[in-house]
């Protein structure tokens, strides 16, 4: 009898090991950790945290919409820097409007991502420069937290040295439900 129990325990252990090796670990991890699905559209409240010395006053909090597509693309718009706007980034540069943001993202961990999006700055209907924002993103179920670090580049080359760096923002939001 003792020998049969040992054989059953051995077979059970072998079966459990096989399940773990064939993907059981992923299933257990998925149940233990919150969902890390970034795809979809998110409504966020963005709060500027730090400003470069060239910026006299940080902007107030604003609303942003982000859409993250399965293929790794980002579409972004917000109420702070948009086509109908006229924002003074620094007093000596004058007012700017900006396009919506387009970019790319990738997964770095189960519920963490990095990305980058670019907006075209314009003044009087002419391209004047770029806003380039790097992102760090965390997702928990239907909640998102995002940290953005922006550079402003003046001129036609987005790879030119920035006029300033370090426009740090923190954002929190929720998934926009389909109703």
Looking only at Cα atoms, what is the longest distance across the chain?
Answer: 90
DSSP state of 23: I
User: What's CA 98's distance to the chain center, in Å?
Assistant: 19
Q: What are phi and psi of 23, to 5 degrees?
A: 125, 0
> Which of 141, 149, 151, 150 has the alpha carbon at shortest distance from 173?
141
> Which of 62, 83, 76, 81 has the alpha carbon at shortest distance from 137?
76
**Element spanning 155, H or E:** none
pTM to 2 decimals? Answer: 0.75
Average confidence (pLDDT) per 10 residues, the chain, 179 residues:
42 30 32 70 90 68 95 94 68 80 96 96 89 95 93 92 84 92
């Amino acid at each position: 009898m003792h020998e049969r129990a040992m054989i059953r325990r051995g077979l059970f252990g072998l079966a459990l090991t096989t399940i773990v090796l064939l993907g059981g670990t992923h299933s257990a991890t998925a149940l233990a950790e919150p969902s890390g699905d970034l795809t979809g559209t998110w409504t966020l409240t963005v709060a500027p945290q730090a400003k470069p010395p060239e910026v006299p006053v940080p902007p107030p909090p604003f609303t942003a919409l982000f859409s993250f597509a399965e293929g790794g693309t980002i579409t972004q718009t917000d109420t702070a820097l948009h086509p109908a706007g006229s924002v003074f980034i620094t007093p000596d540069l004058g007012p700017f409007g900006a396009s919506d943001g387009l970019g790319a993202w990738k997964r770095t961990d189960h519920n963490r991502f990095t990305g980058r999006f670019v907006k075209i700055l314009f003044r009087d209907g002419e391209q004047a420069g770029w806003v380039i924002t790097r992102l760090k993103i965390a997702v928990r179920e239907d909640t998102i937290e995002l940290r953005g670090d922006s550079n402003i580049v003046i001129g036609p080359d987005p790879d030119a040295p920035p006029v300033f760096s370090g426009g740090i923002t923190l954002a929190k939001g929720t998934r926009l439900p389909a109703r």
